[in-house]
Amino acid sequence: MLHSISVRKDGKKMANSFIKDNKIWIDYNVDGKRYRKSTGLSDKASNHKIVNNKIIPELSHKIATGEIFKKKPKTFRYYGEIFLKFKEARLRAYSEREPYFKRLIKVFEDREIDKITRLDVKEYLFSLKMKTHSKGIYKSAIKEIFEIAVDDGVININPAINIKLPPDRKEDIEYFSVEEVNKMINSATGIMKPYLLLAFNTGMRPEEILGLQFQDIQDDYIDIKRVRTKGRIDYPKTKSSFRKIPYPSFIKKEIEVLKNKSLFLFDYIDDAGRLRHQWLKVIKDSGVKYRKLYSTRHTFATLMLKDNIVSLNELAGLLGHSSPKVTLAHYASIINPELVNLGKNFSLFGHDLGTIETREVVEACI
Residues 279-320 pLDDT 10s? 999 999 999 999 999 999 999 999 998 888 898 899 999 999
Please count the helices (runs of H) and the strands (runs of E) in the chain.
Answer: 15, 10
> What gap in Å lies between CA 172 and CA 298, rounded to an integer?
11
CA 96 vs CA 81, 101, 122, 136, 297: distances in Å: 17, 10, 24, 15, 22
306 vs 82, more confident: 82
pLDDT at 255: 87
> What gap in Å lies between CA 134 and CA 301, rounded to an integer?
24
Q: Mean per-residue pLDDT for 159-174? A: 86
Q: What is the H or E stretch that residue 9 is in?
A: strand 8-9
Among 195, 206, 243, 202, which residue's Cα sits nearest to residue 223?
243
User: Exposed, middle or buried: residue 361 (CB in 10 Å: 0-12, 13-18, 19+)?
Assistant: buried
Of 34-43, 321-330, 339-348, 354-363, give the lowest mean pLDDT range: 354-363
pLDDT at 70: 60
pLDDT at 71: 62
The pTM for the full model equals 0.62
* Helices assigned H by DSSP within 203-323: 206-210, 250-256, 276-286, 295-306, 312-319
Structural contact between residues 92 and 124, judged by C-beta atoms closer than 8 angstroms:
no
> What gap in Å lies between CA 210 and CA 265, rounded to an integer?
7
pLDDT per residue as tens digits for the range 204-226:
999 999 999 999 999 899 999 99
pLDDT at 254: 87
User: Exposed, middle or buried: residue 127 (CB in 10 Å: 0-12, 13-18, 19+)?
Assistant: exposed
pLDDT at 133: 84
pLDDT at 340: 45
Structural contact between residues 206 and 274, judged by C-beta atoms closer than 8 angstroms:
no
For 228, list phi and psi in degrees, rounded to 5: -130, 125
Is a pLDDT exceeding 50 seen at residue 365? Answer: no
Specify the DSSP class assigned to residue 75.
B
CB atoms within 10 A of CB 85: 9
